[in-house]
Structure 1
Amino acid sequence: MELAPVHPGDRAPVEDEEGRQGERLQKVLARAGVGSRRVVEDMIDEGRIAVDGKTVLVQGMRVDPRTVQISVDGSRIEIRNDRVTYAMNKPYGVITAMSDDRGRATVGDMVGDLAKGLVHVGRLDQDTEGLLLLTTDGELAHRLAHPSYEVSKTYMAQVSGSVPRDLGKRLRHGVELEDGPVRVDSFQLMDTHAGQSVVELVLHEGRKHIVRRLLAEVGLPVTRLVRTAVGPVQLARMRTGVIRRLSRAEVGALQELVGL
């Protein structure tokens, strides 16, 4: 679908505290790391940049970075500097909390004073490892964790026993648990050896211990569980305990996923 061009008169101007009408688009995108101002100007000439869903075809446009949505080559770019989002590879045994009055190791201990107002997005069980998102953006955290937005999570599970041939079909159809049915979006057997199997599941459920309870229900108790993705964000090769700041493109993809 072709996007309509934006012209300077298409929207009401936004003035900053000195009376200037916003910031030049080139400056905003250069600060966001998209490229130098000259590179951004070339991208505008090529029709690769969109503001609020409309392709920008003129140079010198001013925007309010607090409110606009900017996309480059169709991918949303996070341009605000007052919000940060991180990915952590949470180790086994660490609880998902910013503090704990019982003296247990927490996610909060690991992040320290990395960013003021940082909160974890949802939870991982103490004995579950892998990808945990943390952000200073409260609305993003709320939407990513809320069931109504159906954000997919990918898990790699090591289980005891052999995987039946028809298990993927059964899990996609749905399994009844004590608190209601659960279905996976996808299921794949990754490996099997010496009475142990490794399986990958994608689901958008957020109920407590849902993956462990689901696999136990079908006769495959979990011996190790790692979350490898949340929506478009991948754990990839992050080492245990490592924290990295998400790129602006990754944050933009998360925002787009939950309608921000």
Structure 2
Amino acid sequence: MAEPVTPTEPAAGGPQRLQKVLSAAGVASRRVIEDYLVQGRIEVNGKVVTELGTRVDPAIDQVSVDGVAVQLDTAKRYYVLNKPTGVVSSMKDEQGRPDLRRFTDELDDRVYNVGRLDAETSGLLLLTNDGELAHVLAHPSFGVEKTYIAKVRGRVTPQTLQRLKQGVELDDGPIRADRAKLLQAQGDARHSIVELTLHSGRNRIVRRMLKEVGHPVVELVRRQFGPLHLGTLRSGQLRELTKAERGALLTIARQAEAARGTAGAKED
């Protein structure tokens, strides 16, 4: 990881004043950012900086304000899509099925989905042109937490929820839910509504877990992906992440990278 750049004259396309970079990233005005610097609220590559003349290279350096990561590259875009059922999680489906292009063709930026939802599952899908972030979030070792709401056949009991949390054995190995609860206010005599949170990225994992405990899924929606929530976004709608959402997503991604780097150093 690069060390903070010392206050020198910037080369073309290289280091720039921190105030200018953070202002362009939408953090605050340059005057306010100067106050942040003096107050010790800004870190560059993990180190607090207080020099008003600090310069950073947006292409190399990592900056955070109050512990929240800031994306310095203003060309990076992040969107949340409420994917409808019947749409495959691909930018071009070779079988001619409805794909994600119907939602992204009008965007100025070319974006890609982070992870997948099967065609029968609706809900939150992250789209971005930030390849580095997408790689971290999609990597199995990262294990971003995801929350699903499932309508299942049969009446789910507390014992079944406990079994899901303790773990079940599937063809590709054991799996357990981080959290599982029954949404008592919903459902009918023949069905139950279950909220399931887990960090596995294995294919169709929620459907397979619930089938294993005797409750096949009728409908499934992903409501949360890491710090991102579906909220009131309607099916088929797309919106850009807020500044706070971008910061939260980048922060946990950088923390995961740092943790993997530390683990790798210990193994060496």
Normalised-by-shorter TM-score class: 0.7 to 0.9
**Could you list the per-position Cα deviations for residues 190-235 of structure 1 after superposition, in whole angstroms to 9, with x for gaps in the alignment?**
2343222211111111222110111011111111111111111111
Instruction: Measure how far apart 1:174 and its partner are.
Output: 0.9
Distance (whole Å) between structure 1 residues aligned to residue 11 and residue 77 of structure 2: 23
3-state secondary structure, aligned to 1:159: strand
Q: Is the 8 A contact 1:129 1:225 kept in 2?
A: yes
Amino acid at match of 1:234: H
Instruction: Measure how far apart 1:13 and its partner are.
Output: 5.2
Does residue 1:239 correspond to 2:219, yes or no? no
Counterpart selection for 1:60 from 49, 53, 71: 53
Equivalence for 1:3: none
3-state secondary structure, aligned to 1:59: coil
Equivalence for 2:121: 128
Moved more, 71-80 or 189-198: 189-198
Q: Is the 8 A contact 1:14 1:63 kept in 2?
A: no
Q: Is the 8 A contact 1:98 1:119 kept in 2?
A: yes
3-state secondary structure, aligned to 1:148: coil
3-state secondary structure, aligned to 1:238: coil
Distance (whole Å) between structure 1 residues aligned to residue 8 and residue 176 of structure 2: 48
Residues 12/28 of structure 1: CA separation in 2 closer, same or farther (3 Å cut): closer
Q: Is the 8 A contact 1:99 1:109 kept in 2?
A: no
Does residue 1:72 correspond to 2:65, yes or no? yes
Distance (whole Å) between structure 2 residues aligned to residue 118 and residue 185 of structure 1: 30
Q: Please give the TM-score of this superposition, normalised by the length of structure 1.
A: 0.88
Moved more, 63-72 or 193-202: 193-202
Q: Which runs of 4+ in 1 moved over 6 A?
A: none
Distance (whole Å) between structure 2 residues aligned to residue 14 and residue 204 of structure 1: 45
Instruction: Measure how far apart 1:89 and its partner are.
Output: 0.6
Instruction: Measure how far apart 1:155 and its partner are.
Output: 0.8
Instruction: Measure how far apart 1:82 and its partner are.
Output: 2.6
3-state secondary structure, aligned to 2:82: strand
Distance (whole Å) between structure 1 residues aligned to residue 94 and residue 165 of structure 2: 40
Equivalence for 2:214: 219
Structure 1 unaligned runs (5+)? 1-5
Moved more, 239-248 or 176-185: 239-248
Instruction: Measure how far apart 1:160 and its partner are.
Output: 1.9
Q: Spell out the pairing of 1:1-260 with structure 2 (5 A cutoff).
A: 11=6, 15-17=10-12, 22-191=15-184, 192-195=186-189, 196-259=191-254, 260=257
Q: Is the 8 A contact 1:232 1:253 kept in 2?
A: yes
Amino acid at match of 2:135: H
Instruction: Measure how far apart 1:11 and its partner are.
Output: 4.4
Distance (whole Å) between structure 2 residues aligned to residue 16 and residue 230 of structure 1: 39
Q: Is the 8 A contact 2:151 2:187 kept in 1?
A: no
Residues 78/133 of structure 1: CA separation in 2 closer, same or farther (3 Å cut): same
Distance (whole Å) between structure 2 residues aligned to residue 143 and residue 30 of structure 1: 26
3-state secondary structure, aligned to 1:162: coil
| Equivalent residues, number | 251
3-state secondary structure, aligned to 1:258: helix
Amino acid at match of 2:165: R
Instruction: Measure how far apart 1:101 and its partner are.
Output: 4.1
Structure 2 unaligned runs (5+)? 258-268
Amino acid at match of 2:77: V
Q: Work out the percentage of aligned pairs sharing the same amino acid.
A: 48
Distance (whole Å) between structure 2 residues aligned to residue 46 and residue 15 of structure 1: 25
Distance (whole Å) between structure 1 residues aligned to residue 8 and residue 148 of structure 2: 46
3-state secondary structure, aligned to 1:47: coil
Q: Is the 8 A contact 1:51 1:70 kept in 2?
A: yes
3-state secondary structure, aligned to 1:94: coil
Q: Is the 8 A contact 2:149 2:194 kept in 1?
A: yes
Distance (whole Å) between structure 2 residues aligned to residue 193 and residue 244 of structure 1: 30
